[in-house]
Structure 1
Amino acid sequence: MIYAEEIERAVLGACLLERTAQSTALKSLRAEMFYITAHRAVFEAISALYARGAAVDMLTVCEELRASGRLDEAGGPFAVAKLAGEVATSAHLEYHCTILFQYFLRRRLVEVLTRELAAANDMTCDVYDVLIGTQRELGALLDDSPLENHLHPMPEVMEDTVALVDRRQKLSVNGLTGVPTGLQRLSEMTGGWQPGNLIFTAARPADGKTALDLFFARQAAMAGVPVVFFTLEMTASELGERMVLAESRADPLRIRQGKLTAEEVEDVHRTAERMSALPVHVDDTPYINVDQLCVIAKSLRAKGELGLLIVDYLQLLATVNPGRTREQEVAECSRKLKGLARSLGCPVIVSSQLNRQAEDRAGSPELRHLRESGAIEQDADLVILLHRPERYHIRVDPDTGCSTKGMGIATLAKHRNGATGKVYYGYNPSMTKIGEFEGVHVAVPGKTYKEKGNEGKIGDIFGGAAR
C-alpha cells in the first residue's frame, strides 16, 4: 500500500510540540489522509482540542483519547509519548504535509481508477457514463485538495494587507524595504528586491548577466542576507574567482596566467578570507532540473540559509517531461520558479538569454527579445534588460549626453508593482567590478540630470574607490 509511516509520525510529533505546527497541519490535512489507524485517532484528538482552544500536548491528547474511548486504538500513552519524542523541530512541516497529501492522493487515485476500470470492463455499463463518472471523480480529487485552497475572505485580505504595510514601515531604512540591490537608483525604483518576487535579468551574450548577478549576490550577502547561487555554466571556483576579483587589487589577466606579484597573491588570500565569511552558498550541479532546484531551495529556506535565490541561467535548466518543444520547457521552468518565489517568500533572480533578433540592433534590447518563451514576461514581477552601449560602438548615450565608456544600462522594462525606467551602472574593462556610474545623476523619477562630456566611471562600491 502507498503510505509513509515516518512522514505521518513526523507530522503528529510536530503537532504535539508546537502550536504553530498545529495550525499549519490542520489547515492542510484531514484525519482520513493518515493511512495508519492509530495516527488518524491521534490527529482527530489534536483537531478536537485545537478547535476548542485547548492546549495540545502529549498529556492533553492522551486525555482526549481516553475520554473518547480511543486511547487503545491510538496505541496507548506510550505510543503517543513516542510520537512526541521523535521530532526535534517542525522546520520541514509544510513539506511533510505536502508529501502526506500526495500519498493520500495516490491511494485515492488507485481506488478511483480501479473502480472505473471495472466499470469500463463491464459491458452492461454505458461507456459515456463511465467517462463522465471518471472525469467527475478525478476533478473531485483536485478540488478537494486542502493545499490548493487559496480562497481568502475580504477581512483576511485586509488584515494581511495592513500587516504587510506595517511590516514595511518597520523594516524601511531610507525607503529600502527589501533585499539591498547595491545600486541606489534601482533600490529607489524597487524598494529593494521584494519577498516573493521573480526577477529576470536578460542580456545578449557577454553583456554581463553573470557579473551583475554576482554583484547583486555580494551586496545582499554583505547586508547579512543569506544567498544561494545556482550556476549552470560555471564551476564554484570560477564563480569564487570572480567574487575575489571584485574586491581585490589583483589584475584579472595575470591571475588567469598565474603571473601575480607576491603582493597581489597576499591580497587575494586576504580577500578570499574576508569573502569566506559571507553567507553565500554556491551550487554548480551541471544539468540540474528545475524540480531538483526547487527541492534544494526549499530545504535551505527551511534551515534559514536562503534569503535571496539567484539562478544563472534559465535556458540551461532542464525539465523532467521529455518530448516537448524547448519553448514549452522554458515556460514550465519559468512557471515553477514563479511558484517557488511565492512559496519561499524571498526574491528569486533568474538570468535569461535574448533571442537572435536582439543581435540585429545596436540599441537597448526590448521585452520581445526574451528568448524562447513569452511566459517569462508573463511570470516575471520585474524584467531587467542589460545593455552595454560601448560594445556596440555607441560613444555617447543619447539620453544623457555622457560618454558610454564603462557605462552599463539596466532597463526596468517590466515592473509589476512600480515604475519602469533606466538605471545606469559602471563597470571596469574585465567586468569584475560593478558599482554606481558617476557620469549620470538621477534625482527625480523620469528626469535625468547630466553633465555633458563627463566620462562615467565606477563610483564608491565597497567603502573605497574602485581600483
Structure 2
Amino acid sequence: MRLSAPIYKLKRQAKRMARDKGIALHAALDRIAGAEGFRSWSHLAENANPGPAEAVLRQLAPGDMLLVAARPGQGKTLLGLELARGAGTLGRRGVFFTLDYTRREVEDHLARLPGQGEVMIDTSDEICAAYITARLARLDTPVLAVIDYLQILDQRRDTPPLAEQLAALKAHAMASGAILAMISQVDRAFDPASGKLPGLRDIRMPNPFDPDLFDKACFLHDGQVRTGRVG
C-alpha cells in the first residue's frame, strides 16, 4: 500500500499529534496508521512499501565506505538505523556508533522500525576512528557499521584531523571487508527550494577531507533518495 508521505514524515506528524493532544506517542502512531488504512503502526511498518534502506543495501559491497547525507529532519539517521538493522540480509552484524544520541534514544528509534535484526549500539564519548576500528577488530563476524556523525568525529582536541580519521576508516574497511556508513550533515547554504537533491559539493566541511575516500554516497531530501558511486 502506498503511503501519503514517507514513514519519517508520518512519525513527525505523530509526534506533533501526541504533543498537541496530550496523548501517548504509541497512540498517536496508531492513529496515523489508521488514517493510512492500517490496523496499527506495527501493521503499517510491516506492510508498507519498503523504504530506501533495502535498495541501498543491495548496492553495498565488502570494503565499501558509504556517505549518507541530508539536512536535519530528512531521515538520514533513520536510514542509518535501517541499514544497521538490515545488515543481517548481507550476512553481517549491524553496529551503530553515535556521538549525537543516547542509548535510550537509539533504542526508542529502533523499537519503531520494522524487522528484528539485532543492532550493537555504542554511545561512548571516546568514539573516533581509532576507537571504531579497535572495537570492530574485536568482533568475530563481518560487520556493517554506521557512524553518526561525520562532522563531530574530530571534536576532541586529542583526535587526529577528520581527513586522517576517514583515511584510517577506509583502510580498515578495505583490509577487513567491513562496510562503513557515515552519516553527514549538508551545509545550510543548500537551497531546498531548488527542487534538487544535495550533492557532494553541499556536504558541510568544517574541516576539509577528500570525498573520494567514499565509494558511494546516498543523499536524501523531501522524501527523495539518490544513491550512486563517488567519482
TM-score band (shorter)?
0.5 to 0.7
How many residue pairs end up in the alignment?
A: 178
Task: Note closer, same or farther for the CA distance 1:365–1:182 as it changes in structure 2 (3 Å cut).
Answer: closer
2:225 to 410, 422, 427: 410
Residue 152 of structure 2 corresponds to 316
1:356: Cα distance to partner? 2.2
1:316 CA drift (Å) = 1.7
Aligned to 1:336: 168
Find runs of 4+ consecutive structure 1 residues off by over 6 angstroms. none
Q: Which of 100, 113, 127 in structure 2 is aligned with 1:288?
A: 127
From 163, 167, 182, the equivalent of 1:350 is 182
Tell whether 2:73 aligns with 1:206.
yes
Q: Separation in 1 of the partners of 2:190 and 2:126?
A: 26
2:162 partner SS: helix
Unaligned runs of 5+ in 2: 1-51
Match in the other structure for 1:230:
97
Aligned letter for 2:204? R
Report 1:295-310 matches (<5 A).
295-300=134-139, 303-304=140-141, 306-310=142-146
Q: How high is the sequence identity, in percent, across the aligned residues?
A: 28
Matches for 1:178-257 after TM superposition, within 5 Å = 182-184=53-55, 186=56, 191-221=58-88, 224-247=91-114
Structure 1 residues 376 and 209: alpha-carbon distance in aligned structure 2, compared to 1, 3 A threshold: farther
Q: 1:380 to 1:330 in 2, by over 3 A?
A: same
CA distances 1:275-318 after superposition (whole Å, capped 9, x unpaired): 4xx34211011252221122111112xx22x4211111111213
Matches within 5 A, 1:257-296: 275=116, 278-296=117-135
Relative contact order higher in (CA < 8 Å, ≥ 6 apart): 2
Point out where structure 1 has 5 or more consecutive residues left out of the alignment: 1-180, 248-273, 389-407, 417-467
Q: Which amino acid aligns with 1:215?
A: E
Alpha carbons of structure 1 residues 321 and 332: separation in structure 2 relative to 1, 3 Å: farther
**Counterpart position of 2:215:** 381
2:227 counterpart letter in structure 1: L
Q: Which amino acid aligns with 1:281?
A: M
Deviation readout 1:314-354 (Å, 9 max, x if unpaired): 1121377659xxxx822222212211211221211110111
Deviation (angstroms), 1:410:
1.6
Distance (whole Å) between structure 2 residues aligned to residue 293 and residue 384 of structure 1: 22
**One-letter identity of the residue aligned with 2:220:** L
Q: For 1:414 and 1:314, how far apart are their aligned partners in 2?
A: 19
3-state secondary structure, aligned to 1:375? coil
Q: CA RMSD in A?
A: 2.7
CA distance in 2, matches of 1:336, 1:321: 18
**Higher helix share goes to which structure?**
1
Residue 196 to residue 318, structure 1, CA distance change in 2 (3 Å)? same
- 3-state SS in 1 of match to 2:198: coil
TM-score by length of 1: 0.35
Rounded to whole Å, the distance in 1 between the matches of 2:229 and 2:204 is 16
281 and 380 in structure 1: CA distance in 2 versus 1, 3 angstrom threshold: same
**Residue 246 of structure 1 aligns to a residue in which SS?**
coil
